[in-house]
């Protein structure tokens, strides 16, 4: 089984399915198709599938022209039955949190169950969704070897590492980034068995420059959580340092830049409005949830989460203070939020701290407007807010301007000149 799969991979004849065609899945599907593999994308969203059928991209980093060039090799469907003709399936579905901030694995379960209905001998399944250590073996493996699978295949056993292969490989995509893409970002891979690792490493190795094998799926799952927790904790630390410097009357940027001159033992992180995106605010909770089941309290994760989530409130207090200095009350003032994407130069608002800032400003009675070159309309908590199309007019009409997202297209000095009252969550001195 394994040798056949390895040969199909070597010859680029292995048909690769990518399940979940979002920010992670679509670039991955394109990477495999561009390396000559036939690729089938599977997504439950018929609008995405229809857009891909027209070679229209909805992911900023993948221009439609790249899709158009792949018409022969990349097709998309909503029908999992397509897995019957695939040699490998890579699962990239969302792993959000539920209302109580615990892992919401319902998309994973749904994708796992649908895959189990079509898995066949010799197939390689890889999970890429960020999740708690143990998911691949505790959640996915039992679905793929359930009695219904054996019955459908008419076999007495369906053994992982022998009859099919299962691995975990965390996605490291950084949307908006131009220097590190899927192809040249080292890929960590862990298999349930050595044969699973070999198969998964062969597949990824044919599209990605460097593979970093680890000894288990649990280790591979933990790698991703370490990476994201590391960022969450360090961002929280520097946010707290910024608050401390503010209280001490010290310029935090002067301190950070001077500390960054140390050639070893210091890594520069920058303070800001909080954390956003699909990874940093959510993934560490997968880790702390898992540890809670083992009666361990992941204290760093919890503290970092608390500090980062409090940042929008800190900044809204700053807006109130700034308006006050101009003799204005928050209630009834027009506040313009500049940049609502969760980070610079992307069109994604998921978990953006700008959303919390807007909500808190509104709760205090401000008339909130926003401008973002990448986002025209915001829907948050059921409210639709249209962006201001004309930046200059919006600046002139605002009682206070809050800089949230550091998009490169903005001329911040010009903004600072025009704004009657300015709060800069990037802590940058513009005056
Ligand atoms: N976006 C990032 O920057 C990033 C980076 C690294 C890792 N990740 C992780 O990768 C995973 C996917 O994230 P994303 O940003 O691509 O999410 P996304 O929401 O952009 O895309 C997920 C896609 O999966 C589809 N989907 C949902 N349920 C499905 C099912 N049962 N079968 C088939 N398709 C289904 C959705 O329609 C959507 O198109 C998450 O676990 C995330 O934490 C994301």
pLDDT tens readout for residues 38-54:
999 999 999 999 999 99
> Which two three-digit tokens encode residue 23?
């920010």
- Distance, in Å, from the CA atom of 213 to the CA atom of 31, rounded to the nearest integer, reads 20
Closest by alpha carbon to 362, among 337, 345, 391, 393?
337
Q: How far is the CA of 92 from the centre of ligand 1 (A)?
A: 5
Check pLDDT > 50 for residue 338: yes
Q: Is 146 in a helix, a strand, or coil? A: coil
Residue nearest to atom 41 of ligand 1 (CA): 129
Q: Distance, CA 344 to ligand 1 centroid (Å)? A: 21
pLDDT tens digits along 240-277: 999 999 999 999 999 999 999 999 999 999 999 999 98
Indicate the pTM of the whole model. 0.92
pLDDT on residue 99? 84
Instruction: Report the 10 Å Cβ neighbour count for 363.
Output: 10
> Which atom of ligand 1 is least distant from the CA of 111?
31
For residue 328, what pLDDT is reported? 96
pLDDT value at residue 418: 92
Contact in structure between 328 and 262 (CB atoms under 8 Å): no
Residue found under tokens 């749904």: 110
Ligand 1 atom at minimal distance to the Cα of residue 26? 16
Sheet holding 16-19, edge to edge: 74-77, 39-42, 16-19, 88-91, 124-127, 165-168, 187-191, 211-214
218 C-beta neighbours (distance < 10 Å), count: 19
Whether 430 has a pLDDT exceeding 70, the answer reads no
Nearest CA residue ID for atom 21, ligand 1: 22
**Residue 279 is among the residues annotated as catalytic for this protein:** yes
Going by C-alpha positions, the residue among 344, 327, 232, 240 that lies closest to residue 288 is 232
| Mutate-to-test residue for ligand 1 from 43, 143, 172, highest number of ligand atoms within 8 A of CB | 43
Determine which residue's CA is closest to atom 1 belonging to ligand 1: 23
Residue 101 has pLDDT above 70, yes or no: yes
The tens digit of pLDDT for each residue in 174-215 reads 888 889 999 999 999 999 999 999 999 999 999 999 999 999
Question: Is 70 exceeded by the pLDDT of residue 363?
Answer: yes
| CA 128–ligand 1 middle distance (angstroms) | 9
pLDDT value at residue 429: 47
Whether 134 has a pLDDT exceeding 50, the answer reads yes
Q: What is the overall mean pLDDT for the chain?
A: 94
Residue 49: closest CA among 21, 73, 14, 76 = 76
Rounded-to-10 torsion of CA 284, 285, 286, 290: 110
What's the pLDDT score for residue 384?
A: 80
Residue nearest to ligand 1 atom 33, measured at CA: 43
User: In angstroms, what is the span from residue 17 Cα to ligand 1's centroid?
Assistant: 14
- Which secondary-structure segment (H or E) carries 115? helix 106-116
Residues with CB under 6 A from ligand 1: 19-25, 42-45, 48, 92-95, 107, 110-111, 128-130, 171, 173, 175, 278-279
State which of 18, 22, 40, 345 you would mutate to test the pocket of ligand 1, scoring each by most atoms of that ligand within 8 A of its C-beta.
Answer: 22
Q: How far is CA 309 from CA 180, 195, 276, 306, in A?
A: 28, 43, 10, 5
Sorted by where each starts, the structural domains of the chain and their CATH numbers stand as 2-215 (3.40.50.720)
Give the distance (Å) from ligand 1 centre to CA of residue 18.
Answer: 11
Cα 13 to Cα 2, 85, 115, 213, 317: the distances in Å are 15, 12, 21, 24, 59
| Beta strand 165-168 pairing with 124-127 | parallel
Measure 366 CA to ligand 1 centroid, in angstroms: 35
Per-residue model confidence as pLDDT tens digits over 4-27: 999 999 999 999 999 999 999 999
Q: What percent of the chain has pLDDT over 90?
A: 89
Average pLDDT over residues 135-157: 97
Mean pLDDT, range 378-384, rounded to an integer: 77
The model's confidence at residue 427, banded by pLDDT at 50, 70 and 90, is low
Ligand 1 mutation target, pool 47, 78, 92, 169, most atoms within 8 A of CB: 92
Confidence grade of residue 125 (pLDDT, cut at 50, 70, 90): very high
Ligand 1: which residue has its CA nearest to atom 18?
Answer: 22
Task: Indicate the burial class of 92 (C-beta count within 10 angstroms; 0-12, 13-18, 19 or more).
Answer: buried
Residue 428 has pLDDT above 60, yes or no: no
Calculate how far, in angstroms, residue 279's C-alpha sits from the geometric centre of ligand 1.
Answer: 11
Query: Is residue 371 classed as helix, strand or coil in its secondary structure?
Result: strand
Whether the predicted pLDDT of 378 surpasses 70: yes
Among residues 150, 133, 152, 131, which one has the least CA distance to residue 142? 150
Which one of 245, 279, 400, 421 is the catalytic residue? 279
The answer for residues whose C-beta is within 8 angstroms of residue 425's C-beta and 6 or more apart is 272, 273, 311, 315, 353, 357, 402, 403, 404
């Amino acid at each position: 089984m394994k040798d056949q799969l390895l040969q199909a991979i070597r010859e680029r004849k292995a048909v690769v399915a990518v399940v979940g065609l979002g920010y992670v899945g679509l670039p991955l599907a394109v990477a495999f198709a561009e390396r000559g593999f036939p690729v089938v994308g599977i997504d439950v969203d018929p609008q995405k599938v229809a857009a891909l059928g027209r070679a229209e991209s909805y992911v900023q980093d993948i221009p439609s022209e790249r899709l158009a060039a792949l018409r022969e090799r990349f097709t998309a469907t909503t029908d999992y039955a397509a897995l019957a003709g695939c040699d490998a399936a890579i699962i990239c579905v969302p792993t959000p949190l539920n209302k109580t901030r615990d892992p919401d694995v319902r998309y994973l379960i749904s994708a796992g169950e649908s895959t189990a209905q079509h898995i066949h001998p010799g197939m390689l399944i890889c999970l890429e969704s960020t999740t708690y250590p143990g998911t691949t073996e505790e959640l996915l493996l039992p679905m793929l070897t359930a009695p219904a699978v054996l019955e459908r295949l008419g076999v007495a056993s369906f053994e992982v590492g022998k009859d099919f292969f299962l691995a975990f490989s965390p996605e490291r995509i950084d949307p908006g980034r131009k220097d590190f893409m899927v192809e040249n970002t080292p890929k960590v891979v862990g298999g349930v068995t050595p044969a699973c690792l070999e198969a998964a490493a062969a597949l990824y190795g044919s599209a990605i420059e460097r593979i970093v094998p680890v000894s288990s799926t649990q280790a591979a799952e933990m790698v991703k959580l370490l990476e994201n927790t590391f960022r969450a904790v360090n961002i929280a630390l520097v946010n707290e340092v910024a608050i401390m410097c503010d209280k001490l009357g010290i310029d935090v940027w002067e301190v950070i830049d001077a500390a960054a001159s140390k050639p070893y033992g210091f890594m520069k992180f920058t303070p800001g409005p909080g954390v956003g995106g699909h990874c940093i605010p959510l993934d560490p909770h997968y880790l702390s949830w898992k540890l809670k089941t083992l009666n361990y309290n992941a204290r760093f994760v919890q503290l970092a989460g608390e500090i980062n989530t409090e940042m929008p409130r800190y900044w809204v207090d700053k807006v109130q203070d700034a308006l006050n200095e101009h003799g204005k009350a928050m209630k009834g003032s027009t506040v313009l939020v500049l940049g609502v994407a969760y980070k610079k130069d992307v069109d994604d608002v998921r978990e953006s701290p700008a959303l919390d800032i807007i909500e808190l400003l509104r709760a205090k009675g401000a008339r909130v407007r926003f401008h973002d070159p990448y986002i025209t309309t915001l829907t948050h908590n059921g409210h639709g807010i249209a962006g201001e199309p004309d930046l200059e007019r919006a600046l002139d009409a605002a009682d206070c301007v809050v800089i949230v997202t550091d998009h490169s297209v903005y001329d911040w000095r010009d903004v600072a000149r025009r704004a009657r009252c300015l709060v800069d969550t990037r802590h940058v001195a513009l005056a």
